[in-house]
Amino acid sequence: MGNYLPSTSTEREQMLADLGYESIDDLYAVVPAEARVHDLALPEGLSELELRDRLGAMAAKNTVFRSVFRGAGAYRRFVPALVKTVIAKEEFVTAYTPYQAEISQGVLQSIFEYQSMVCELTGMDVSNASLYDGATAAAEAVFMCQDRKRSTVVVSKTVNPQTIETVRTYCEGRDVEVVVVPMRNGATDMQALAEALDDKTACAIVQQPNYFGVLENTGEIIETIHEAGAKAIVSADPVSLGILASPGEMGADICVAEGQSLGLPLSFGGPYLGIICCTKQLMRKLPGRIVGQTEDARGNRAFVLTLQAREQHIRREKASSNVCSNEALCALAAGTYLACMGPRGLARAAELSCSKAHYLAERLAEIPGFELVWDSPFFNEFMTSCPIDPHALEQGLAERGVLAGLPTEHGILWCTTELNSKTQIDELVDMVRSAVR
Amino acid sequence: MGNYLPSTSTEREQMLADLGYESIDDLYAVVPAEARVHDLALPEGLSELELRDRLGAMAAKNTVFRSVFRGAGAYRRFVPALVKTVIAKEEFVTAYTPYQAEISQGVLQSIFEYQSMVCELTGMDVSNASLYDGATAAAEAVFMCQDRKRSTVVVSKTVNPQTIETVRTYCEGRDVEVVVVPMRNGATDMQALAEALDDKTACAIVQQPNYFGVLENTGEIIETIHEAGAKAIVSADPVSLGILASPGEMGADICVAEGQSLGLPLSFGGPYLGIICCTKQLMRKLPGRIVGQTEDARGNRAFVLTLQAREQHIRREKASSNVCSNEALCALAAGTYLACMGPRGLARAAELSCSKAHYLAERLAEIPGFELVWDSPFFNEFMTSCPIDPHALEQGLAERGVLAGLPTEHGILWCTTELNSKTQIDELVDMVRSAVR
Amino acid sequence: MKLVFELSKQGRASALLPECDVPEALPDAAFRRAEAPALPEVAEVDLDRHYNGLADEAFGVCNGFYPLGSCTMKYNPRINEEVSALPGFSDIHPLQPEGTVQGALEAMATACDLLAEITGMDAVTLQPAAGAQGEFTGLLLIRAYHKAAGDDARTKIIVPDSAHGTNPATASMAGFDTVNVPSNESGGVDLEALRAAVGPDTAGLMLTNPNTLGLFDPNIIEICSIVHEAGGLCYYDGANLNPIMGIARPGDMGFDCVHLNLHKTFSTPHGGGGPGSGPVGCKAHLKDFLPAPIVEKRDGAYALVNPERSIGRMKSFYGNFGVAIRALAYILALGKDGIPEAARTAVLNANYLMSKLEDRYAIPFAGPCMHEFVMDIGPLKEETGASALDVAKRFLDFGMHPPTMYFPLIVHEALMVEPTETESRETLDAAAEAFLAIWDEAHDNAEALHNAPLTTRIGRPDEVRAARNPVVRWMPDARDFGGSDGAKR
Amino acid sequence: MKLVFELSKQGRASALLPECDVPEALPDAAFRRAEAPALPEVAEVDLDRHYNGLADEAFGVCNGFYPLGSCTMKYNPRINEEVSALPGFSDIHPLQPEGTVQGALEAMATACDLLAEITGMDAVTLQPAAGAQGEFTGLLLIRAYHKAAGDDARTKIIVPDSAHGTNPATASMAGFDTVNVPSNESGGVDLEALRAAVGPDTAGLMLTNPNTLGLFDPNIIEICSIVHEAGGLCYYDGANLNPIMGIARPGDMGFDCVHLNLHKTFSTPHGGGGPGSGPVGCKAHLKDFLPAPIVEKRDGAYALVNPERSIGRMKSFYGNFGVAIRALAYILALGKDGIPEAARTAVLNANYLMSKLEDRYAIPFAGPCMHEFVMDIGPLKEETGASALDVAKRFLDFGMHPPTMYFPLIVHEALMVEPTETESRETLDAAAEAFLAIWDEAHDNAEALHNAPLTTRIGRPDEVRAARNPVVRWMPDARDFGGSDGAKR
């Protein structure tokens, strides 16, 4: 049995005696008997050796795919070795939120750098220190836009469905309506969008590239949203921003993103990284921690948590968000990732992902029944039809170590990243071809 | 292509211009044309992504066995998670030999602690900072014992054959005779030992537990060696010393050991850890680095490399060894391992290894044809007969993820450690049983 | 330390990605960005040194004592990091077919079962990403429960004045109004005030127990009864579960739902501010409302299923899975004896340290305490001028992390000390000596304390300036950020 | 920092191993030890902090500039650590059946091929564990070669006076006598002296080229010829291969065998003093003598085979495999263009730094240099009293590792500076500024330099005391170690 206690039972008895107590139970005298545990139904504790075996056995029951052609909001991407090294450093791993700036400059500076890189990437003015994930970032972004006059939310059907669901849950608490705009040819239906917006609309959310991989006309969409007097929230894929127009340059008020692609492993869905950033006009509505630069009395540059007047521990019930923990270690990973990749490396990742998707789409189209569902331009994900039961296809490929695209109501949603070599793609196409034969 | 150069080609051209050279070749003007490379037949360089794929593919071609029943000088043992953390710390990994004591106290102290623990474990007075591995430690130990009058070496046949071979190679340079003493019932033949020793014998080497797992009568052996006026070198298994009598208490002059068991992975044979330690009488003959304690001018405790007068960079051709690099990071692993295990943890590892070997031997003996070859007491390795082609048995088990004992001329040499659970052992026995059916 | 941007030189880079091995196919220019983002261009060696430098300026539990009240900064076992990094956990896609992630689902289901047992709840979801999101989830459950019962009048959440700021903030997020109830003179909930506060508009109560003063409320069962009798539900804020885990269960006290901070009680690392994990447990009557999806075992296989009347999804996928694995490892290691032993030792350590300090420092509420205690620096300040901030900052010079400052709000010069169970007597003694030395210094020369810390690379930063003239990003030379003096290259 | 023993308390421990699940079966008491070893008993949290504290007091390439001459402290790429730790490399037993380790053997064979190409040799063994063992291996090859030729008279190895101490020490180990030849005024081998030294007793020559002054010997081809004509063989000490890898090959210069330091030239980390790796390459006429075993591809599969007339085994198994994997990764990353580019940049950086210093510091041999250069502090010492030691120790205060001190021996107050190719111009400029500032300090106040370093936790340790009264281990209270004052608990 482990316990990680430094003191032995003898030492503890001695300390207790020093305190003048006979039994540790004396310290629990105030706990009513009815609330006391009598027989805790937990298993016996394990030694480290047994623990490694036990968890190792669970891990071994999961399939780690040799090649992955599935994205839909979570991406297996290249992670530089340095990123893994950095986020394993115990000083970063075991630190608390950097309240004590004098001994936390390393954490604070890493967040400041993260904030700066996120602003560069998205073209926005201000970023916070991160949120839980892309979906909650979208929900918090909605809260930033709401006021007494404008509170309803418009979301394009082409936004990741999990993001839509999360926004719905968050809005439920405040009884706010969430209107979903239908799509047309895989992209947001512009006419329907214009119709959905009214003078109660606080904001509208679109995603670029959208959930189906299609490239939206973000500029036009944002213009339409602004014309209705609402705020435009763009959910972006951060790697694609290596080459795609930034939400900032397209006029977005808030940009949110799932940051997992920036150096984090798939990890069965979490921890991921919620990126949120905005124009300077909205800065004081931004939720979560923000690190700012200042000086100490000796004139040294120093970083601190700042603009705390926004936060729950000051505003309490008047705070617009209850966020306190962010995903600092994930933000460190993202910052390190972006520093490793640099502008050219990130562009390369985006270019490879996009080119490979087009190659895969072309190769798949050689197989009867695997046509592109829409003829819209796409980035690194795309939807094809499937002439057989998609779950049978998925199963067949899985047995050969390949994770197929995601079966959806519209067809199969395929994804490529820089990790999918031409060899892998050709192999996949061969497997698919034999599967439908 | 990687290169890890911070400077870009533009920057390098500028630096060259600053130096007043037109071409980098000007700096190589002294290199004669005949020695110049014209077409280096190396492959094109790889990006990090390709490199990971390439090496990953090679690694994937090796079988990582689910359970291992083979030792014979290299042991898969339990490694505490903390050990892996400590030896991954970049400050330790990327430091040089601690010549500059003022910024190297961490490395120096870790070695001082290692030396102290090795002394505790072996019962010897002085340890060095480590050598390459157990076999070279034995060879260096021989060098420590030789003088003009006594130079021949006696080695028991029960010593690890690779150690014997290494000692032979080392002695070859100096034309020194190496006499191998035969064995009897799996242990050193005492009578043959006594006969092999004479007034030219510098030292004799025995191993405990010996290569075949058998427990030698170390005390009696050492007495015999000392009676002949030679030095006794004991090669020990460091984990077994958790419970077995230490070479020091048995009277050994020098103890050597393969330290891989102390927290190092199997790693296909290296890097491992050469432990060497001796009585204080032999201290100034000990090869390699030694860390000692002293003070700085302010009275702080400080550690330094010491007794350097022994070493090659001072003595040059008069040095008895040319060793400079040791296995510092491996010694750090061993020190951390011993600190994690503590006296009781190490004893437990020894006890588990021993008990499981006896259980396995008993279970195997249930299968006709798998008798113990010798009836001598053994520790965690033992030799059985094998009624079928041992390589066929090995092959059959390997296909089921199990590494069998090592086929040798005497039979199969089995090994267990604390990692072999009863379940694993029972499974092995079942597999063996069906293999011989 | 330079900023990573200040290390950048055009053209520097690591060779990370290969050339394209398929025909290039890129989006039309209309979709492309006008200029590349000004990300840093730095060689690997310089990045490596940069992040090592930053790590040197961070302070974690691995560096020393961290008695940060309410944060439960216990030791983070290394084995937990190792097992959570296994490719079978870290390299699986959340949308893989269920048949290929049975081990992951088993791990989640096991963690839920163990947490349910520890809290005395009937069901648990791992989805909330942190304590605050757990609170939000819990209040949405309460909201959904009343709504399902057709009871729309319950619009108020009762919160004691000693509560964390997240409690009222969460109530607002969930559409409730907050009613604050005062503490009684022993630091617990004032029963009379509570009775006066409850009514047909009461949706529920949020309570931390032991509370933020480190005190277990002896009236806890009556408190829950009062709320229940008024038709409200009781929400247990698990921030302070550590001293009672395995000893007493929120479920048995009368709570209907609870959130846990895995990064506090269950030893998962804080990561400099996250990722955390805030699982929520509830009694059977709330189970159908849990966020979607939850793990269930059906026909011998684990599956993800959506509860019947789910409040919806709190975030993408299934929660901070990697964090849950670490917590699972922790609970499996400790087991039925280790869990309460850790709790008891946390309480012992807090009382031990408090006893060493109480002769000098004012302890506003009488003990014994649970896992933490609050010191009131008010009297010392009055006497010497040394504030809670001064004491905390001076504590930095002793190589330890200071306690939580100025919380709870009901003690004006509060220092909140939580040693946790993973500290040795020697460490506690060293901390006590430091506090006592500072007490002496305050009496000898309080002025000097205002300049503390003295041994850190930077001194106290100017926080007012940071907030008044926010510089929240580095800015490349060519651009500027509004009127502020953005950090320049 | 306390010693780990000083953190020990009886009974403390981590719960690492399970109870025994089979019947206990232990050796007879006669084989058992009398008392348990006094290993430390420390909790995991305190061990974790202990080793973090030690790491804080270590200085690696990851912490800053490390221009330690002759040690080639280049950046150690992180990817190499990652790939070498793959279970398929790190968790395989050296005695597994060959069919189950084809990938490992392929990696070894590939590394050997690449190293053979870089050195211009015909065969390579990875077995030697370090450079010194590589030297020993090489000399045993030379010995075996002459012996096989029946030529017993060749008992002497020629070594220049600028050589590393390992060269003569190795010659002795291999049973040879050492003949020292002096350097000429340009720092190279004195050809006349060499001609005078060779003869029928010459077994061979050991040479480092570029030599320890950082100078490439322009007469290298003639040097090898002289030795060959006398019937000797030429051994290339690869310590300084870095500036010429991919540019010039020892094999083409006329060398018969060579050792490499993978932990220098091929970027594997030094680990605080090891593990290193010292592969040996040789021409075809020495191949049959290589240590056993070597890897060969036979019938499409890799196999371990023993060379026909092998000198035997140098150590257990096949060398420091894990180190070889890192070097393999490095060579594969750099490839045919990256290898010479690294060499050229190493030379450029050394010349760049030298040019910034040569106006102040005496450079005893005219450049251009190769990868390193030697400064003679003699003149500065004469003028100001500041020695090479003083300059080096003061350099520590600038956050950088000093150069190698007092080597080579032929320059009495030598500082040997090797920047390597993985340093940026900014870093070289910063180092130059530090050296120049120290030069000024020496002239302003040399006395102060004798007390350097000023900013490190400890000052200069008393090395004489350490050697005179050796305390080389901690000792439990109850025992004592001879007459010395062993460190006590």
CB contact under 8 A, A106 and C460: no
Q: Is the pLDDT of residue A137 over 60?
A: yes
What is the per-residue pLDDT for D479?
53
Out of A275, A305, A335, a domain closes at A335
- As its CATH architecture, domain C79-334 has 3-Layer(aba) Sandwich (3.40)
Residue with tokens 């009871």: C151
| Half-sphere CA count of A125, side-chain side, radius 13 A | 19
Mean pLDDT, to the nearest integer, of B44-55? 98
Q: Does residue B308 share a domain with residue B296?
A: yes
Instruction: Report domain C341-464's class.
Output: alpha beta
User: May I ask the CATH architecture of the domain D344-461?
Assistant: Alpha-Beta Complex (3.90)
Residue B172 has pLDDT above 70, yes or no: yes
Q: At what angle do helices D166-173 and D131-148 cross, to 10 degrees?
A: 40
Q: Which of D49, D73, D425 to mutate to test the interface with C (most CBs of C within 10 A)?
A: D49
Three-state SS sequence of C44-73: HHHHHHHHHHHHHCCCEHHHCCCCECCCCC
As a whole number, mean pLDDT of residues C335-354 equals 97
Residue A81 to residue D78, Cβ atoms within 8 A:
yes
Instruction: Identify the CATH number of the domain in which residue A87 sits.
Output: 3.40.640.10
B165 domain residue, yes or no? yes
Here the tokens at position A117 are 């890189």
H or E segment to which residue B256 belongs: strand B254-258
Tokens of D477: 């209270």
* Pairing status of strand C233-237 against strand C202-208: parallel
Which residue among B335, B364, B382 closes a domain? B335
Return the beta strands (E) in C350-400 as ranges.
373-376
Residue C180: pLDDT band with limits 50, 70, 90 = very high
CB pairs under 8 A between A and C: 715
Q: Give the residue on A whose Cα is nearest the Cα of C53.
A: A106
Q: Which of C82, B268, B80, B53 is nearest to D88 (CA)?
A: B268
Q: Choose the final residue of a domain: B286, B315, B335.
A: B335
Nearest CB to D16 within list B80, B168, B329: B80
Percent of chain C residues past pLDDT 90, beyond the cut? 93
Listed residue (C324, C326, C331) closest to C125, CA to CA: C324
Percentage with pLDDT > 70 across chain A: 100
pLDDT(D485) > 70: no
Residue C479: the pLDDT is 53
Considering the domain architecture, whether residues B172 and B187 belong to the same structural domain is answered as yes
Nearest to D222 by CA among D243, D203, D205: D205
The SS3 call for residue D295 is: strand
Please, are residues A267 and A338 in contact by the beta-carbon 8 Å criterion?
no
Write out pLDDT tens, residues B308-323.
877 777 777 788 788 8
Nearest to C396 by CA among C53, C42, C64: C64
Contact call for residues B273 and B262 (beta carbons, < 8 A): yes
Q: Which residues of D293-305 are buried (b: 16+ CB within 10 A; e: fewer)?
A: bbbeeeeeebbbe
**Chain segment A31-86, per-residue pLDDT in tens:** 999 999 989 999 999 999 999 999 999 999 999 999 999 999 999 999 999 999 99
Q: Distance between CA atoms of A141 and A278, rounded to whole angstroms?
A: 9
Q: Do C14 and B84 touch (CB under 8 A)?
A: no
Cis-peptide into B80, omega within 30 deg: no
**pLDDT at residue D478 is higher than 60:** no
Model confidence at C164, pLDDT cuts 50, 70, 90, reads confident
Q: Could you tell me if the ipTM is greater than 0.90? A: yes
Residue C429 predicted with pLDDT over 90: yes
Per DSSP, the three-state class of B45 is coil
Nearest to A342 by CA among D79, B426, C10, D378: C10
Torsion from C-alpha of D48, D51, D57, D59, nearest 10 degrees: -110
A219 in the same domain as A256: yes
**Is residue D486 pLDDT above 80, yes or no?**
no
What is the reported pLDDT for C484? 42
- Write the DSSP assignment of A209-257 as a string of letters: S-TTSBPP-HHHHHHHHHHTTPEEEEEE-TTGGGTBPPHHHHT-SEEEE
Spatial distance between the Cα atoms of C296 and C301, rounded to a whole number of angstroms:
8
Chain B contact set for C16 (CB, 8 A): 47-49
Does B394 score more than 80 pLDDT? yes
Cα distances from B409 to residues B386, D99, D303, in angstroms, run: 11, 21, 20
Report the first-to-last Cα separation within chain A, whole angstroms: 56
Q: Which residue has the higher pLDDT, B187 or C165?
A: B187
Is the CB of residue C223 less than 8 Å away from at least one CB of chain A? no
- pLDDT at position D487 over 80: no
Task: Please report which confidence band the pLDDT of residue A325 belongs to, taking 50, 70 and 90 as the band edges.
Answer: confident
B218: phi then psi, degrees, rounded to nearest 5: -55, -45
Q: Is C73 on the interface with A (CB under 8 A)?
A: yes
Distance CA D209, CA D216 (A): 6
pLDDT of residue B173: 83
C238 lies within 8 A of chain A by CB: no
Distance (Å, whole) CA B134 – CA B115: 16
SS3 C80: helix
**Domain for residue B153, yes or no?**
yes
* Same domain for A285 and A363: no
At residue A7, the 3 state secondary structure works out as: coil
Number of domains present in the structure of chain A: 2
Q: Which domain holds residue A90?
A: 81-335
pLDDT at C478 (0 to 100): 53
CB C377 within 8 A of CB C388: yes
- Report chain A residues whose CB lies below 8 A from the CB of D17: 47-49
Whether A185 maps to a domain, the answer reads: yes
> What are the residue boundaries of the structural domains of chain D, listed by start?
4-57, 79-334, 344-461, 462-489
Task: Give the residue from B216, B162, B209 showing the smallest Cα distance to B184.
Answer: B216
> Residue A295: beta bridge partners?
A301
Residue D208 has pLDDT above 80, yes or no: yes
- The CA R_g of chain B, rounded to the nearest whole Å, is 25
- 3-state SS, residue A58: helix
pLDDT per residue as tens digits for the range C290-320: 999 999 999 999 999 999 999 999 999 999 9
Contact B216, B207 (CB under 8 A): yes
pLDDT (tens digit, 9 = 90+) per residue, C64-110?
A: 999 999 999 999 999 999 999 999 999 999 999 999 999 999 999 99
Contact B48 A81 (CB under 8 A): yes
pLDDT band at D109 (very low <50, low <70, confident <90, very high): very high
Which residue among C43, C48, C424 places its CB closest to the CB of D46? Answer: C424
pLDDT in tens, C22-59: 999 999 999 999 999 999 999 999 999 999 999 999 99
Residue A36 lies in a domain: no
Q: Same structural domain for residues B196 and B319?
A: yes
pLDDT at residue B140 in the model:
97
Does residue A263 surpass a pLDDT of 90? yes
Specify which residues D265 forms β-bridges with.
none
Task: Collect all residues with Cβ–Cβ distance below 8 Å to B25 and sequence separation of at least 6.
Answer: none
Task: Report yes or no on B57 lying in a domain.
Answer: no
| Contact between D401 and B358 using a beta-carbon 8 Å cutoff | no
Q: Does residue A379 fall inside a structural domain?
A: yes
- Asked if A4 lies within 8 A of D11 by C-beta distance, the reply is no
pLDDT: is C442 or D185 the higher one?
C442
Q: Give the pLDDT of residue C487.
A: 47
Both structure tokens of D43: 């909790």
D485 or C371: which leads in pLDDT: C371
Q: How is the beta sheet containing B411-415 ordered, strand by strand?
A: B381-384, B411-415, B406-408
Is the per-residue pLDDT at D482 higher than 70? Answer: no
Q: How many helices (H) and strands (E) does chain B have?
A: 14, 16
Q: Are residues A87 and A74 in the same domain?
A: no
> Which residue, B329, B120, B326, is CA-closest to D486?
B120
Q: What is the mean pLDDT of residues C430-452?
A: 96
The percentage of chain A sitting over the pLDDT mark of 90, rounded to a whole number, equals: 92
Residues 6+ apart with CB under 8 A from A412: A383, A384, A385, A386, A390, A393, A404, A405, A406
Identify the pLDDT of residue A435: 93
What's the mean pLDDT when you consider all of chain B?
Answer: 96
Q: What is the mean pLDDT of residues B217-225?
A: 98
Extract the tokens encoding A29.
């005298």
Do residues B167 and B310 share a domain? Answer: yes
D11 touches chain A (CB under 8 A): yes
B25 domain-assigned: no
Among A304-318, B330-344, D260-274, D374-388, the minimum mean pLDDT is found in A304-318
Q: Residue B403 is encoded by which pair of tokens?
A: 């590494």
**A48 vs B49, B80, B88: nearest CB:** B80
Mean pLDDT over A194-213 rounds to 98
Q: Taking a C-beta distance cutoff of 8 angstroms, is the pair C133, A132 a contact? A: yes
Considering only CB atoms, D39 lies closest to which of B63, B98, B120, namely: B120
| Cα angle C379, C382, C387; round to 5 | 80
Q: What average pLDDT score do residues A204-210 get?
A: 98
What is the structure's pLDDT at C310? 97
Predicted pLDDT of residue B174: 83
Which chain C residues are within 8 Å of D61, Cβ to Cβ?
A: 45
Contact D43 C15 (CB under 8 A): no
User: How many C-beta neighbours within 10 Å does residue B391 have?
Assistant: 12
pLDDT range class, residue D489, cuts 50, 70, 90: very low
Cβ atoms of residues B60 and D234 within 8 Å: no
Residue of C nearest to D421 (CA): C45
Residue A95 has pLDDT above 50, yes or no: yes
- Residue for token pair 């008024």: C230
pLDDT beyond 60 at D480: no
**CATH of residue A347:** 3.90.1150.10
- Looking at the fold, whether B191 and B285 belong to one and the same domain comes out as yes
Nearest residue on chain A to C68, judged by CA atoms? A96
Name the residue with tokens 């250069």.
D373
Q: Do A418 and B81 touch (CB under 8 A)?
A: no
Selected residue with higher pLDDT from C77 and D166:
C77
Distance CA A67, CA D371 (A): 44
A320 lies in the same domain as A356: no
Q: How many CB atoms lie within 10 A of CB A177?
A: 12
Reading the block at residue A144, the tokens are 């930033």
Smallest Cα–Cα separation from B360: which of B393, B409, B404, B407? B404
- What rounded mean pLDDT belongs to chain A? 96
CA distance D169 to B313: 9
Chain C positions touching D49 (Cβ under 8 A) are 62-64
- Please tell me the predicted confidence (pLDDT) of residue C483: 38
In this complex, do C348 and A93 lie within 8 Å of one another by their Cβ atoms? no
Angle at C422 between CA C360 and CA C348, to 5 degrees: 50
D303: enclosing H helix or E strand: strand D301-305
Shortest CB distance from B74 goes to which of D93, D129, D135?
A: D93
Size of interface C-D (CB pairs under 8 A): 43
- Burial class of residue A375, CB neighbours in 10 A (0-12, 13-18, 19+): exposed
Please judge whether D271 and B113 are an interchain contact, meaning their C-beta atoms are less than 8 angstroms apart: no
Q: B322 and B352: one domain? A: no
| Residue B154: its H or E element | strand B152-156
**Least Cα separation, residue B112 to chain A (angstroms):** 24
Question: Would you call C75 and D45 a contact, using CB atoms and an 8 Å cutoff?
Answer: yes
In a shared domain, residues B261 and B324: yes
Query: Which helix (H) or strand (E) element contains residue B153?
Result: strand B152-156
The whole-angstrom separation of Cα B104 and Cα B85 is: 19
Task: Name the residue facing B35 among D253, D345, D467 (closest C-beta).
Answer: D253
pLDDT in tens, A338-390: 999 999 999 999 999 999 999 999 999 999 999 999 999 999 999 999 999 99
Do A346 and A331 lie in one domain? The reply is no
CA distance to partner chain A, nearest, from residue B185 (Å)? 36
Mean pLDDT of D215-223: 96
Q: What are phi and psi of C362, to 5 degrees?
A: -75, 130
Q: How far apart are CA C245 and CA C240, in angstroms?
A: 9
Distance CA D169, CA D175 (A): 10
